[in-house]
């Protein structure tokens, strides 16, 4: 499987997983499974680190496009270079961009950098911008195919732990 396909599939899978989770919560609260269609009527907001991982931002944009086909009510916030993201999105002429927001973040944290140093120094990186959005509770989920260490560091330092959770 190529890296592009991996990132696309990961974004698509996260959206489908969240839809199933929302379906489960709805059913557990008494809604009828027969009347609940998780394809299309789920309102969720995901922030995508569009520059985390290889072949980005094209892989991240392709994943968003795939996910939007099954979940047109989902909203996406893409963090990264605004000009490049806009260029990638414009390749999809039939895409309804009303559910996509771009947050300009020109810096990138690479896998070669020390995670703690990179997260603290690169405040304008796509990953830190995505973490800031999560910390402000402006999205339900964050997806990044970037540095696992930087994601864990950002989650711990920026988003913070859920009360009662002692270890990341």
Is residue 103 classed as helix, strand or coil in its secondary structure?
Answer: strand
DSSP codes of every residue in 134-165 = HHTT--SEEE--S-HHHHHHHIIIII-PPTT-
CA–CA distance from 148 to each of 97, 111, 119 (Å)? Answer: 29, 8, 12
Instruction: Write the pLDDT tens digit of every residue in 123-167.
Output: 999 999 999 999 999 998 899 989 999 999 999 999 998 888 887
Kindly report the number of other CB atoms within 10 A of residue 49's CB atom: 31
- Note the pTM of the prediction, 2 decimals: 0.82
What pLDDT, on the 0 to 100 scale, is given for residue 27? 41
CA angle, residues 152, 57, 80, in degrees to nearest 5: 65
Residues in the chain where the model's pLDDT stays below 50: 1, 24-40
Tokens of 65: 């496009």
């Amino acid at each position: 499987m190529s890296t592009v396909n991996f990132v696309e599939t990961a974004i698509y899978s996260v959206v489908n997983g969240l839809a199933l989770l929302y379906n489960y919560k709805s059913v557990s609260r008494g809604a009828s499974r027969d009347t609940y269609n998780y394809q299309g009527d789920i309102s969720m907001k995901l922030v995508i680190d569009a520059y985390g991982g290889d072949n980005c931002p094209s892989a991240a944009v392709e994943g968003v496009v795939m996910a939007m086909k099954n979940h047109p009510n989902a909203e996406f916030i893409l963090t990264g270079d605004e000009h490049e993201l806009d260029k990638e999105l414009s390749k999809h002429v039939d895409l309804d961009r009303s559910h996509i927001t771009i947050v300009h973040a020109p810096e990138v944290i690479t896998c070669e950098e020390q995670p703690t140093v990179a997260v603290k120094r690169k405040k304008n990186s796509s990953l830190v911008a995505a973490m800031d959005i999560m910390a402000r509770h402006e999205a339900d989920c964050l997806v990044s195919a970037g540095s696992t260490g930087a994601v864990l560091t950002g989650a711990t330092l920026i988003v913070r732990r859920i009360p009662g959770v002692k270890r990341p």
